[in-house]
Chains A and B, each alone.
Chain A
């Protein structure tokens, strides 16, 4: 038994990496188990994996087999492809994936991996990913057109009827997407938003930012951005942590948060929660009329020219607001109602 743990990482995500391989056997096959279940999102998971692979023993002969434990972590096909690439680069081979989420299981099956729900003996401290529970508060989800960012350009051309059903995921297009690598994307975003902020600070300030120091910080530890104003067209509100807005968010504006987005008002612009890969992030508003909702890599767009729940407002006085979250592999909007 050999345990690798890096302080720099566990600092941020309190991870548990345990690599096990039987040294007693001088056999050709050496099996290593890596746990990623503690990572809050796929970006961190990838980082954990990278570190774990660095500390991998290099056998003189034969191959190294990796068993990946993902716990409750949602792994999308493109993240899985990245994982495979990383493992390959380290000269190892991915043999088994332990996953409890059906989406992750499906993704793994699709790429021809051996999938099990749980490792044979629980030697890994499978922490629940730091996030929100997924129980649905509402009655019925509101129909949105869901897409993944990667396959969006291809999907955009499709007719409405076919968009109604949740589409299959094109793995190739997902892989080829530039800026998709969560870490790089995050760094670039940060740099970009800082640049914009600098550029705009002289005249009218359009970009509001919370203190962006390190993108490695967990969303929970970054202060929440609180704004009490209407967000009009052309404005971008960007923050590492959660964003809380009291006021309406107009069409043509963009709210981008590392964590959750909560709007005490009507949300009509573009909202991107969990922009650094946090799948459990939620978007809440008194009314969600958003032109697009994005959570991590998921994108849902408003149906064409249909104000799909205009009537609900008057018809149902018990409704409190709406919340959008990733559920069953797509973004769904639920109505919160008083009981």
Chain B
């Protein structure tokens, strides 16, 4: 069931992580799935295509090690290997950072394709973190991808934007496989009928599920530390991301039980909202 680890001849799988709406957790998802895959022994390269508003470096805790960036590479001011920043712990994980002092137009679809073609031969997975929106930056991000992970939260605005993104991904025939990561899920709110549940979102978007991430304060802690939550063994969100990484690698992992026991107040409120609506 497990896919072959670091087989030298096989080309890397190029997966774009995208969402349409901003702030739903694209970058967090990229950092954690990438780190999760690297923990499993795969050779992983993360690419930040959010030029001008880079963040992946902060989440990985690598912001002070960046000397060159993706724009320096495509404009041939440095070699690709020089721009790749190695992870603090995992030698098989590296980051190609975005430029902070330029904008999205500094990169073209052709340049992106050329760049990823170079990386493909050296890695098992290339994860591309896409910027929010459907403009140039998004087009660059999906340029060379063959798979996509759509990140969404159970909120109307995020679902609507995800639908638009899925439509654009469907229109691109190179992308053969796309799945949903539902982020920031609050099981307690689903129980009280205050939040759309997982099936609602899947039905509305008609998309397959890759995994569900619960709302977790560990995510904020991990961002502050510059250490992806996937490395925190006791964290629920970390466990969810570890499972997702295994699914991406081809393993069959059962979905995590996010059900936390209801508190007294939630039960009362649940009863209240039910009687009100009846």
Contact = CB atoms under 8 A, between A and B. Distances in A.
A1 interface: no
A234 B100 contact: yes
Contacts of A179: 77-78
A178 B78 contact: yes
B100 A252 contact: yes
B277 interface: no
Contact of B91 (A153, A157, A188, A235): A157
Interface residues of A, number: 29
Interface stretch (B40-48, B63-71, B113-121, B203-211): B63-71
Chain B, interface size category, equals 20 to 34
Interface in B175-228: 225-226
Interface string B49-78: 000110000000101111100000001111
A124 B75 CA distance: 43
A156 B77 contact: no
A178 B225 contact: no
B101 A235 contact: yes
A206 interface: yes
Nearest to B85: A156
* Chief secondary structure at chain A's binding surface: loop
A249 to B, nearest CB: 13
Interface string B216-254: 000000000110000000000000000000000000000
Interface stretch (A109-117, A164-172, A240-248, A297-305): A297-305
Interface of B: 52-53, 61, 63-67, 75-79, 81-86, 88, 91, 100-101, 225-226
Nearest 3 interchain pairs by C-beta: A157-B86, A301-B64, A153-B82
Interface of A: 149, 152-153, 156-157, 159-160, 177-179, 188, 192, 206, 233-236, 251-254, 291-292, 299, 301-305
20 contacts: A153-B81, A156-B65, A156-B85, A157-B86, A157-B91, A159-B88, A160-B88, A179-B77, A179-B78, A188-B77, A206-B101, A233-B100, A234-B101, A253-B100, A253-B101, A254-B100, A254-B101, A292-B66, A292-B67, A304-B226
